[in-house]
Structure 1
Amino acid sequence: MPSLSKYLSDISSFSEKGADWLQHLVGDWNLVSDLLRADLVLWVRAEDGPMAVAHCRPATGSTVYFEDPVGDRLPRGADADLDALLDGERSQRGVVVLEREGREARGLLTPVRKDGRTLAVLAVESPAPTSNPSSSETHQQELGTRLLRMIEHGAFPIDGAPIPPRRGAPRVGDGVVQLDENGVVQWASPNALSAFHRFGIAGDMLGGTLAETATEVLQSRAPVDESLPLVLMGRAAWRSDMQARGGTLSLRAVPITEQGARTGAIVLVRDVTELRRRERELMTKDATIREVHHRVKNNLQTVAALLRMQSRRMKTDEARDALAEAMRRVSTIALVHESLLQGSQEAVVFDDVIDRCLRLAVDAASATVHREGSPRIVDSQVEVRTEKVGRVGQIRADEATPLALVVTELATNAVEHGLSETGGTLTIRSERTGAHLVISIEDDGAGMGTAKPSGLGTNIAQTLVQGQLGGTLTWQNLPDGGTSAVIDVYLEPIGL
């Protein structure tokens, strides 16, 4: 089903500013739906008549729509009141009796206006009442009706108020407190009273200032959000947390205005003690994992440094080369752990690792080659250029280590055996489609001819690709000269 933005973009008469306002309304209209215990349907003017472009079901009551009405169209004249409201000729229509899904319902139409222009019409539809409403339902209906008047005058959603992205945002079912313009509690739902009572606010809260009442139970040693007083007084449309007795309440204030003047506020409250505790545990776990990666990286770099020192003491070239290869492999594993330090999950942006593998491969053959742009050590050195084509993206940490080792081994082989005498370009091409990844390590040197790649590095690469990555590793001569080593693997999905 198309999104609201797609529907609005197809209507030529809709301005970008008007579309943004409706997106903002739909992002926060569950508050109105929950207070009124009603379905909300947003109707806009299309070329052939009114069209429903968004729908919200209440979390506090039953819905009147079993089938989503989004996309429904009405011919012009089918609903005279709706047509008149969309044309800006009338104000809010009173409650009428409807039939929805074979059941009796109540309907109300409210124009959605901004800067004096009617952008849409909000249909508020709820099941026909079967009994007298409770005191809580009556108060919530009153608050919802006041928000509808704000929508009609372009005052809701509130300009500058963020749509709550944070986990644990309170909703009407969690608890509602009604304040007057001075922050005095006029009414509180049973769930709101229970939440505050658990935090040490005993007795009846009616008639007292919420800010003063809450201040008495705040933890003196805990940091206090600077926005908390504004939220407790209902003066700003904002979110804040309040800590007391080792627990946490999440509060959200929605000021109520009439003709531009603040006449009260709605404060939503939710006990998020357990949620915040889990978030702290995740943060601690994440910090611990980062510290482990940091220490492993440092230890691997220390091992590489020890191998480098030991290689300098070797009297034979064969021993020095063996230790140098071991040092390079240890340094490659350290690169993966260093990359894990940069992210918040157990995944590696492998393109960054490839950049370092390229540098490491060229530096490993520094006696005979030098990187493009770096100074020559001796006149006999040739220049090697490096190039990266395509992207790999993120891969799991347990796949990044063997893959990085393979890429480094193959890139080093390409430099030492293909480019060490002639110089040229070392290219790594990456092509990823979903879980399928193909990486080609290419050089434009003399090529391998009919010889089959062999050696310890080749065996290590083949073993890692087949054994740990479950893929294939093949070599081929390029048509214009040079060699290409192709890694073909299927990656495991990254867990959320």
Structure 2
Amino acid sequence: MRNHNLTNKQLNILDRLQQILPFAADLAHGHAAVYVQEEDKLRVTAKAMPHTVYMQDTTENGEDLVDALAEPLVAEVFQSAQFVHGKREQDYGHFIDMYVFPVADGNKVIAAVSIEVDKDHLNMDDFSQLIKTTTDVLHYAAKDVDLAPFAPLSASDGLIITDQFSRIVFANAAAQRIYRVLGVGSLKGCHLFDRQLSRHVTRESFERNRPWQKELTAGDLLLIRRQIDLQAGGTLLRRIVIISDVTEVRAKEQEIRIKSAVIQEIHHRVKNNLQTVASLLRLQSRRSESFEVKSALSESVNRVLSIAAVHDFLSRQGQDCMDIGQIMAEIFSQIKASMVAADFDLQQEFSGASVSLPPKYASSLALVLNELIINAVEHAFAGRQAGLVGLKVEMTEELKLDFYDDGCGLPADFQLGKKRSLGLSIIRTLIEGDLAGTFQLVNDASGRGTHAYIVLPRPEGQEQIVAGLEE
């Protein structure tokens, strides 16, 4: 929403308020909203629910235009340019506190920020310190300052607020709990930089791109400490310190990294073993004098290498899934290098959805594509010096693949069920048996070229259709 009665500077202030609103909602433990004035109406331009306390959201989504009479506290702030505190009825007989803060540019109030707090259920001492800090945060954020430190809070974050002399005036239960583990009994009244608060810290490191944040190690605890200095005219007003205990999170991350490294190593070793098998088959092929044996062994080598290519990709990328376009490119490149004559120009193309496949799908489809490309190379382009193979992918409720070539097509008497080709038997076993799909092999409607239609159940993890390359 752009209000043409406001200057660019004032619009920028509104944008900054919208960015900081989730932090303000978390800080004050209430539902926050930004209002602007439009004649005798008030428009809500931004809303935020707190992450630090449960609160029922009774507002509608999107921008709301309400009569000023319906929000008397907000209307009063626009008239008086002063902070206002009052009550509003949330449910029948249940009132909540409403705090409204003016946001001004010079003498003009350009917006009002309201925060609705259910203090009866909050049960928190020194709540006034949170309101005072919220006031300072809103004024500070309206200036041209870095808003990155004002990331939203969580219910488990420790929150400490100091006065201008760095004396702690507020500490929530989470902060007390964290510092109790560090041997500190009470935080309120302590100096923020008192040695007593940091004597158990054995290591601290700053982040270069976030100097306001550092990582602390204290005993078995791993903490993230975020510090925000609220200033006005170069004078410190108060400090906000957020302490996050990330010990379990980092332990889980380390566990995941170790498991990922192990899985990568397994893929790498499987790839190496498969390549060893392929080398043994090549050695056997060289020693054979039979063309049929050489041809059969050559096809077997490509089958083994097609599976090895999947494991090679998974070991190099460190991922659990492989893109189907990547599989097509890997298998095509491998077959072109090993089975296509140097003077034959074989081209490939890919179109459709980009689909990430789990290892089971990837390995099976690698073998299927291997057989389809080999079959096209051997039978589709007789008497020609060039040919095209392609794959079109569509993801709906099912995964649909259309592998095609521009070759001579199938013989008139071709019947898939009666063919005793090993390659076609492998394809049908993998698609219909392993992947519970269907397979069709038909001529193109134009009479030139062949289509292999494959329909498979949607792979796990593919909840949404991902737009890929267009035809």
What interval of TM-score do these two structures reach, taking the shorter chain for normalisation? 0.7 to 0.9
Q: Give 2:135's aligned residue.
A: 148
Q: Give 2:358's aligned residue.
A: 396
Question: Which digits, 9 at most, give the CA deviation of each residue in 1:212-255, with x for residues without a partner?
Answer: 445532236xxx32249x99xxxx6x433311212212322222
Question: Are 1:137 and 2:125 counterparts?
Answer: yes
Deviation at 1:137, TM superposition (A): 2.7
Question: Are 1:37 and 2:32 counterparts?
Answer: no
CA distance in 2, matches of 1:291, 1:17: 56
Out of 90, 95, 101, which is 1:110 matched to? 101
In structure 2, relative to structure 1, the CA distance for the partners of 1:436 and 1:278 (3 Å cut) is same
Matched residue of 2:276: which SS? helix
CA distance in 1, matches of 2:8, 2:313: 41
Q: Give 2:403's aligned residue.
A: 441
CA distance in 1, matches of 2:5, 2:293: 77
Out of 282, 291, 314, which is 2:288 matched to? 314
Q: Which amino acid aligns with 1:463?
A: T
Q: Which amino acid aligns with 1:242?
A: L
Question: Are 1:268 and 2:242 counterparts?
Answer: yes
Q: Which amino acid aligns with 2:125?
A: E
Q: Give 1:3's aligned residue.
A: none
CA distance in 1, matches of 2:39, 2:350: 51
Question: Are 1:226 and 2:203 counterparts?
Answer: no
Deviation at 1:207, TM superposition (A): 3.4
In structure 2, relative to structure 1, the CA distance for the partners of 1:64 and 1:389 (3 Å cut) is closer
CA distance in 2, matches of 1:50, 1:192: 38
In structure 2, relative to structure 1, the CA distance for the partners of 1:446 and 1:247 (3 Å cut) is same
Q: Which amino acid aligns with 1:483?
A: T
In structure 2, relative to structure 1, the CA distance for the partners of 1:255 and 1:47 (3 Å cut) is same
- Asked if 1 retains the 8 angstrom alpha-carbon contact of 2:13 and 2:142, the reply is no
Question: Are 1:465 and 2:452 counterparts?
Answer: no
CA distance in 2, matches of 1:417, 1:114: 78
Deviation at 1:422, TM superposition (A): 1.0
CA distance in 2, matches of 1:342, 1:67: 49
Question: Which digits, 9 at most, give the CA deviation of each residue in 1:241-298, with x for residues without a partner?
Answer: 3112122123222222234533331112233322221221111111111111122122
CA distance in 2, matches of 1:18, 1:331: 63
CA distance in 2, matches of 1:206, 1:282: 41
Matched residue of 1:448: which SS? coil
Question: Which digits, 9 at most, give the CA deviation of each residue in 1:19-50, with x for residues without a partner?
Answer: 77656645543443344333212224568832
CA distance in 2, matches of 1:16, 1:336: 54
Question: Which digits, 9 at most, give the CA deviation of each residue in 1:41-69, with x for residues without a partner?
Answer: 22245688323344334455564754547
Aligned length in residues = 457
Q: Give 2:466's aligned residue.
A: none
CA distance in 2, matches of 1:280, 1:442: 45
Normalising by structure 2, what TM-score? 0.83
Q: Give 2:307's aligned residue.
A: 333
Question: Are 1:177 and 2:139 counterparts?
Answer: no
Q: Give 1:486's aligned residue.
A: 453
Matched residue of 2:380: which SS? helix
Normalising by structure 1, what TM-score? 0.79
**Gaps spanning 5+ residues in structure 1: where?**
1-7, 371-380
- Asked if 2 retains the 8 angstrom alpha-carbon contact of 1:473 and 1:487, the reply is yes
Matched residue of 1:159: which SS? coil
CA distance in 1, matches of 2:171, 2:180: 12
Deviation at 1:13, TM superposition (A): 7.2
Matched residue of 1:262: which SS? strand
